[in-house]
Chains A and B, each alone.
Chain A
Amino acid sequence: AQSVTQLGSHVSVSEGALVLLRCNYSSSVPPYLFWYVQYPNQGLQLLLKYTTGATLVKGINGFEAEFKKSETSFHLTKPSAHMSDAAEYFCAVSKTSYDKVIFGPGTSLSVIP
């Protein structure tokens, strides 16, 4: 069965500092991987996705993630945090494009001025 773990339920960074949100997955087959963001009182929004091809994926709002098969990881990074990045971030995995998406528990990101 697939599962997703996100290390750190809450992460705080200073404005302008590097953002690193960790995601590890377990899957019996090469997965499809996603990062979603949820701003307060809103639904989830896709940040980026990995399906096949280049393992470094660029998304919206300056975020990117790298698929590392050997480490079963898909960590999300952003070089410089903005106050507007404060939100809940969810890593998700799907076994195939037709399979259900399994979401991780989420990481709440706080940005300190």
Chain B
Amino acid sequence: DSGVTQTPKHLITATGQRVTLRCSPRSGDLSVYWYQQSLDQGLQFLIQYYNGEERAKGNILERFSAQQFPDLHSELNLSSLELGDSALYFCASSPGRTLYEQYFGPGTRLTVT
């Protein structure tokens, strides 16, 4: 158990819908990262937050957004969902701004039908 929690574990929704994925980092970790893992794209970095502020952006679509709240939990919002958004979404956390070691949550499996 990494100490990072993600909810929900599974999510099934229809095209065009909007969903919110939630992540609670390890106690004391200030940085949260979001990744998308799919068979065709592999593991793709989406976005990083540090202590409530966006620090780095990766291959995140405009339809996707994220935020980190004062209690340090983070939410990833996916809107206007398409079939191709079906994937495993991971959250990871680390103690600081460095990316030395990230602790990954168990992931949320999103299925868009």
Contact = CB atoms under 8 A, between A and B. Distances in A.
Interface of A: 32, 36, 41-46, 49, 51, 90, 94, 97-106
A18 to B, nearest CB: 26
26 contacts: A41-B106, A43-B92, A43-B105, A43-B106, A43-B107, A44-B90, A44-B92, A44-B104, A45-B2, A45-B104, A46-B102, A90-B43, A98-B97, A98-B99, A99-B56, A99-B99, A100-B99, A101-B99, A101-B102, A103-B43, A103-B44, A103-B45, A104-B42, A105-B42, A106-B42, A106-B43
Contacts, number: 54
A103 B42 contact: yes
Q: Which of A41, A98, A101, A106 gathers the greatest number of chain B CB atoms within 10 Å?
A: A101
Q: Which of A43, A98, A102 gathers the greatest number of chain B CB atoms within 10 Å?
A: A43
Contacts of B99: 32, 94, 97-101
Q: Which of A44, A98, A99, A102 gathers the greatest number of chain B CB atoms within 10 Å?
A: A44
B21 interface: no
A98 B45 CA distance: 14
Contact of B2 (A43, A99, A101, A106): A43
Interface residues of B, number: 22
Contact of B104 (A41, A43, A97, A102): A43
Contacts of B107: 42-43
Given A98-B97, A100-B58, A101-B102, A43 B43 contact: no
A65 to B, nearest CB: 15
